[in-house]
Every structure is written in C-alpha cells, then in structure tokens.
Amino acid sequence: MLQFVGKASLDETAAFHALLARRLAERGRCYVLIDLGGLTGIGADSRRFIGEWNREHKITAGAAFGASFTVRVMVTLLLNTIKLMSSNPPEIFIARDEAEARRWLAAQQAARSHGEA
C-alpha cells in the first residue's frame, strides 16, 4: 500500500512509477492500493509525468481511498485525462474507505484469476 503525505513531487511520483514498472516487468500485472488521506496536491509536472507514464504502461487495477473532496476532484480529472490519452487505460476505483478499496481490489484479482483458469 502506498500512502501519500503532502504534495506529490515529481521525484516521488517518478520513484513510485519506477516501482510499478518493475512490478509489471517482473509479474506482468500490478494491483495498487493507495491511501490518499494525507495527499494535499499533485504538481503539474507530476500530473504530466503520470499521464505520459500511462501511455507506455498499464497497472492491472488500482484502488484509492481517504481522499478529501478537493483531492478526489483532482484525481478524477487526472484519471479522465489518462482515459482520453490512453487506448487502454487502467481500471481505477476511488473508494469511500480502505475496506471498500480492498474488497474492490480483491474482486478484480479474483475476476482476472478466474479468467485465466
């Protein structure tokens, strides 16, 4: 689980996405649980980086929780931009709380595992 505190800098954003890319390369899939409770903002350079990263990479599924109204709006706008820019955007869910986020991710994993059997 990733937990943001403060404003997401470009260096932190790039480091996190490098971990995602490594996980994707190693396992071919990547599920992400993100606590946005401490996030206060995402700089323009970080938003641009995230958009560009998603053109080349795709996490399997991600769920976020704990976001303030302002952060939920910002993240929703970023996700909508990614959907417009990507031919195969990631499946991302903004949950009310951690339990709901974990249930959604577990359902995503089960559905994908069931499809491979």
Q: Say which CATH number the domain at 81 has.
A: 3.30.750.24
Lowest mean pLDDT among 5-9, 54-58, 74-78, 86-90: 86-90
In the predicted model, what is the mean pLDDT of residues 88-92? 85
Q: In the structure, what pLDDT confidence band is assigned to residue 86 with cuts at 50, 70 and 90? A: confident
Q: Does position 114 have pLDDT exceeding 90, yes or no?
A: no
The domain total for the chain is 1
How far is CA 96 from its chain centroid?
15
Residue 14, domain extent: 2-116
Looking at residue 115, its pLDDT comes to: 64
Q: Residue 68: CB partners within 8 Å, gap ≥ 6?
A: 36
Residue 83 has pLDDT above 50, yes or no: yes
